[in-house]
Structure 1
Amino acid sequence: MKDQTTQVRQRRVFHIPGYDPIHPRRYRELYRSESAAQAAISGYEISITGTSAPHTFGWGVNAHIDGHDVAARIDVLVWSDIVRDSMAGSIPATYLQLLRTAWLYLSTGTLRRLMWMRKGPVIAALYPVAMLLAQFLVALFLGGLAGNAVAAALHWLMALAGLTGGVSETVVSAIALVAKYVLWVTVLVLVLRWFKSHDHRLFAYYLMHDYSFSAGARGANPPALEARINDFTDQIAQAWRGDVDEVLIVGHSSGAHLAISVVADLIRLGRVPTDGPRLALLTLGQVVPMVSFLPRAQRLRSDLAYLAAQDVLTWVDVSAPGDGCCFALCDPVAVTGVTPPGKRWPLVISAAFTQTLSPARWKALRWRFFRLHFQYLCAFDRPGDYDYFKITAGPLTLAERYRDRQPSKSRIDVPVSRYTSLLP
């Protein structure tokens, strides 16, 4: 390996997003705007240019930070097509996913154990369940209201027309009953469709698909995702052919556990050359326990245990208690109960939103939960030792940047998961 204290002049960065169906250009535009904002705050220079490559969406970065010129290439490893396919289900299929997912987390005791660590992400997981059930009850109520109204109207018209008693009343009553339930079902469907059409504001269907995707195979990777992990491994392995000083893999949210498996495969398969650039893994706002605590997550648990003892990489895990959508400061290896002998990683640190964001900025973002979940990729107006743009475009390797950093004192590093089995 190259000396980890060597200044970085060239860096390759591979960003693995979370469960996100939107085109990856959003990450380029986010990087463009937020890097400019951070540069203005912190007093350095940074600019980006477009690049293109098969199977990825990327951009180039040129920066002058701390007196050094650095060039980086950032590629988003795309799995948004898999996400979109998983979200293509009908309304009934989504409610079936709700039942299956809720039953899995409840029956295995996983939900209860997750709550022992952090209630925020569990509440976030329960939100789509509560919201979808509330939508169904509202639709059911409005459908019943409309059905009863039309039945009452038909009976009133029958009485007005003098059609009471005998066969006429029986026929009209039957028509009213049919009309009542037809309208009930029609309104029920229309109201549910209306709610789904406004999910860009409510996020109930989106989150339900997210949790269902992770739990669909009880923690195992679906075949399409496993194949994509293999593709990511191949793409990253090619980075060692270039003249770079550091290869940095970033996994955000659900992308964190994909990044863990990708890096584990790279090392396990001997695809990290001993005389190549430094290898670094940065996990941000991770939700690893949502998967690693499930019965059939042996693949992920094995990768966690394997990476934790490796000396060929640096792994830093960044989260913040202010982010209610992640398992903040939970050591993903330790809480999963797969700590190996000689554990080295990850270094668990806090982005400390309440300290690195000014009171005014924190007040503006505090209740914008999804925006806060992306804060790791954004500018801080009171930056501490975590600066996404210095990490991805600065002159220090991840190892050097956090060489003397102690883990957060408030981290959670006790075994919690009921399931700890590994691959044979």
Structure 2
Amino acid sequence: MNSQPQQTVRSRRVFYIPGYDPIHPRRYRELYRKQSRAQAAVSGYRIALTPKTGPGPYGWDVEATIEDGRVDARIEVLVWSDIVRNSMSTGIAATYLQMLQTAWIYITSGALFRLMRLRKGPVIAALYPVFFLLAQLLVALLLAWAAGAALAAVLPRALAIPAWLAGLAVLPPVLMWFRKHDNKVFAYYLMHDYAYSARTRGANPPELEERMRDFTRIIAQALAEGPDEVLVVGHSSGAHLAVSILSDLIRAGGVAADGPRLSFLSLGQVVPMVSFLPEAKRLRADLHFLSQRSELAWVDVTAPGDGCAFALCDPVAVSGVSPETGKRWPLVISAAFTQTLSPARWKELRWRFFRLHFQYLCAFDRPGDYDYFRITAGPMTLAERFSGRAASKSRIETAVSPHRSMAA
């Protein structure tokens, strides 16, 4: 990694693509504001946020002095939360049907068992909503049985069967109570997340493809406006969207050789959850394509401590689509939470799995060479910052996906 600070970036456009998240993007602005302040206090630089003015995606402006370089950055969120909310608007019965369909697709396609050969954490996270929803249904059925038994005990024998049937009336309110409190257990949320990709067997739904075309145009316009760097950050399932968006951008000739540097930072990626499905041909083709391109730099950051990500799994290689020659990307590195967080901080966060999945966007009290705020508001491009940085020795590059066909 290049340890000599140099200023090649004075203006930067950053496009953050969230994962499957129904929440308004202001949460990301507040997270950036709070965590950048904490990181600046630890690392000794200056960073300040101001409201974004003008049209375009939701965002904010950043003025920073890092490594003796002053940088102006505009950070914008490429929002698809409305699509997420629409996909989550199903009823309780439909969610249980989704659960059965999703499990069936992952099992019969062979994807589930291949995923288990990579990392257990994200597979457990995928199975969690199944077990939790089944447990909720079991509790509801037991309460319905108890209600039916109580009614049958006090009513005449001739009304015993109607009493047992009346006990089933307990089912809807119990299941509705569980769903109302899902913000504490996230079973419905995770089920909808996995079901969204599974229902099309890995192909992008039409409404998502349309939104991705919009994102491609927005990034192309930013490149045409001439900042020093355009940085695309794909977090969680936003990483696989970014792979296809950037592939489309490059294929369309949107990256000029003498234009701004184009960079791609994938964080906490879960690409195999989609690329291992049979109809994810477009994604596999885009992974194959992007891994060879000189028009951009691609750094993939995960951490074994993040149980929701496929940590240190090269998304191109494990999907079985590495080119025979000429593979450039991604550079797979670890955020090494157990090293970059103090023992006290690690102890505090270790079992907060969803919080750890967002740690890539947060401050580290023992920072290493990965620092989200230096990358998004510092004076070097992504390629320069990680120039000479070796890939993680413990990365996984074995081709594991059961499906490797690519879109023509």
User: Into which bin does the TM-score normalised by the smaller protein fall?
Assistant: over 0.9
Provide the alpha-carbon RMSD of the alignment.
1.0
1:333-361, Cα deviation, whole Å (9 max, x unpaired): 00000001210000000000000000000
Match of 1:365 among 343, 346, 349: 349
The one-letter amino acid of 2:85's match is: R
What's 1:416 paired with?
Answer: 400
Match of 1:180 among 140, 164, 179: 164
What's 1:139 paired with?
Answer: 140
Deviation at 1:276, TM superposition (A): 0.7
Specify the SS of the correspondent of 2:58. strand
Contact persistence 1:94–1:205 (CA under 8 A) = yes
Contact persistence 2:301–2:332 (CA under 8 A) = yes
Unaligned runs of 5+ in 1: 156-172
Deviation at 1:43, TM superposition (A): 0.2
- Within a 5 Å distance, the mapping from 1:40-79 to structure 2 comes to 40-52=41-53, 54=55, 56-79=57-80
Deviation at 1:377, TM superposition (A): 0.1
Q: Is 1:272 matched up with 2:255?
A: yes
Match of 2:243 among 244, 247, 260: 260
What's 1:96 paired with?
Answer: 97
TM-score computed with the length of structure 1 as normaliser: 0.93
1:104-147, Cα deviation, whole Å (9 max, x unpaired): 11111111100101000000000000000000001000111011
Deviation at 1:6, TM superposition (A): 5.7
The one-letter amino acid of 1:101's match is: T
Question: Is the radius of gyration larger for structure 1 or structure 2?
Answer: 1
Match of 2:336 among 348, 352, 357: 352
Q: Is 1:38 matched up with 2:39?
A: yes
1:342-388, Cα deviation, whole Å (9 max, x unpaired): 10000000000000000000000000000000000000000000000
Structure 1 72/55 Cα, relative in aligned 2: closer, same or farther at 3 Å?
closer
Contact persistence 1:55–1:77 (CA under 8 A) = no
Specify the SS of the correspondent of 2:125. helix
Q: Is 1:221 matched up with 2:195?
A: no
1:27-86, Cα deviation, whole Å (9 max, x unpaired): 000000000000000000000011145552100000000111000000000000000000
CA distance in 2, matches of 1:393, 1:95: 44
CA distance in 2, matches of 1:350, 1:255: 18
CA distance in 1, matches of 2:185, 2:244: 31
Deviation at 1:243, TM superposition (A): 3.5
Deviation at 1:214, TM superposition (A): 1.4
CA distance in 2, matches of 1:247, 1:353: 27
Deviation at 1:398, TM superposition (A): 0.2
CA distance in 2, matches of 1:196, 1:53: 39
What's 1:296 paired with?
Answer: 279
1:168-204, Cα deviation, whole Å (9 max, x unpaired): xxxxx4434213312x221111110000000000100
CA distance in 2, matches of 1:23, 1:331: 31
What's 2:381 paired with?
Answer: 397
The one-letter amino acid of 1:348's match is: V
1:203-258, Cα deviation, whole Å (9 max, x unpaired): 00000000000111000000000000000001111102323100000000010000
Contact persistence 2:21–2:81 (CA under 8 A) = yes
What's 1:158 paired with?
Answer: none
The one-letter amino acid of 2:250's match is: I
Contact persistence 2:7–2:69 (CA under 8 A) = no
Specify the SS of the correspondent of 1:117. coil
Specify the SS of the correspondent of 1:372. helix
CA distance in 2, matches of 1:94, 1:235: 34
Tell me how many residue pairs correspond in the alignment: 402
CA distance in 2, matches of 1:46, 1:179: 67
Counting aligned pairs with the same residue, the percent is 67
Runs of 4+ in 1 over 4 A off after TM superposition: 52-55
- Within a 5 Å distance, the mapping from 1:319-358 to structure 2 comes to 319-340=302-323, 341-358=325-342
- Within a 5 Å distance, the mapping from 1:153-168 to structure 2 comes to 153-155=154-156
What's 1:375 paired with?
Answer: 359
TM-score computed with the length of structure 2 as normaliser: 0.97
